[in-house]
Amino acid sequence: MNSDVKAAIDCLATYGYCLLEDRIPEDTARRMAERFLELHTDPKCQIYNTGDQYYQTLFGMMNLDDGVWMCASHPDTVAVARHFLGQNCRVVEACSKPTWPGAPGQHLHVDSAREFHEVPDVPWIINSIWMLTDFTEENGATGVVPMSHRSRRKTPPSDINPDSPLIKPITGRAGSVIMWHGGTYHQARANISDQIRVGLNIAYYPPWFNNWIEGGHQPIWPETYERMPPEMQQLCPGLLGHNRADRYETR
């Protein structure tokens, strides 16, 4: 394990998030952003697309663009995820998340915790967003509340408003990636710039987590799995199907 990955693990353990800079070439990231924006307007993809004219989530990106695999199986992000979730952690979903100019700030939240009777004291998700365009304070770079993953709350306190100094914007160049503990309070901040910000969200879960609770998540199509290189297949065990009813656990 190289020293900057070790530093990222230490940062995530302490503060609830980390930033790995320049993990894919900038021009590759920007080309991915352009392709993803085209998918957001493709009629065939609308069944997987949620949101409005300002902020959207396009689910099922593992099936829709093979280039996503490069990010999902990147050795540095996988090393961080496996440190916290174990060697058998799974890549469960990849989503394209563009934010258009004028988008208001997203509500502060934690990830995948609503079904817990008591929030566990071990990580249940390590989430990530690849910066496919630059993330700046003006275009709404993801905001986190450092060390909030230690609170073990299902929802953040209501008195942390969008302008709170507790929320730290995580900025970086296209090609970098943010990773965070699912219990870290975070948000997509308001985009007050004239630029579209595009991120690729990839979620890593331990094998014991019931992914049914995330309603938009899509399984891997069998034909997608067949095309994947071995290192990507290893991250997607038992997630095959053409729709959620084919694959996902129930309550």
Identify each DSSP E strand in 89-232 by its residue range: 90-99, 126-131, 143-144, 168-169, 177-181, 186-187, 197-205
Alpha-carbon distance of 188 to 136, in angstroms, equals: 12
pLDDT of residue 249: 64
pLDDT of residue 251: 52
pLDDT of residue 201: 98
Alpha-carbon distance of 131 to 201, in angstroms, equals: 9
Alpha-carbon distance of 76 to 54, in angstroms, equals: 31
Q: Is residue 210 part of a domain?
A: no
Q: Is residue 226 part of a domain?
A: no
Q: Is the pTM of this model over 0.85?
A: yes
**Residue 155, CA distances (Å) to 38, 116, 123, 179 in order:** 34, 12, 16, 19
Expressed as residue numbers, the domain containing 144 is: 3-108+117-152+162-205
Residue 219 gets which letter from DSSP?
Answer: P
Encode the chain (251 residues) as per-residue pLDDT tens digits.
799 999 999 999 999 999 999 999 999 999 999 999 999 999 999 999 999 999 999 999 999 999 999 999 999 999 999 999 999 999 999 999 999 999 999 999 999 998 888 899 999 999 999 999 999 999 999 999 999 999 999 999 999 988 899 999 999 999 999 999 999 999 999 999 999 999 999 999 999 988 777 888 999 999 999 999 999 999 998 778 998 888 776 65
End-to-end Cα spacing for the chain: 38
Q: Is residue 167 part of a domain?
A: yes
**DSSP string covering 76-99:** HHHHHHHHHH-TT-EEEEEEEEEE
Q: Is residue 55 part of a domain?
A: yes
| CB atoms closer than 10 angstroms to residue 213 | 15
Residues sharing a CB contact under 8 Å with residue 71, sequence separation 6 or more, in sequence order:
24, 77, 94, 130, 177, 200, 202
CATH of the domain at 80: 2.60.120.620
Side chain identity at residue 200, one-letter code: L
Count of structural domains within the chain: 1
**Residue 251, CA distances (Å) to 25, 113, 214 in order:** 42, 15, 12
pLDDT of residue 214: 82
160-197 exposure pattern, b = at least 16 Cβ within 10 A, e = fewer: beeeeebbebbbbebbbbbbbbbbbbbbbbbbebeeeb
Q: Is residue 89 part of a domain?
A: yes
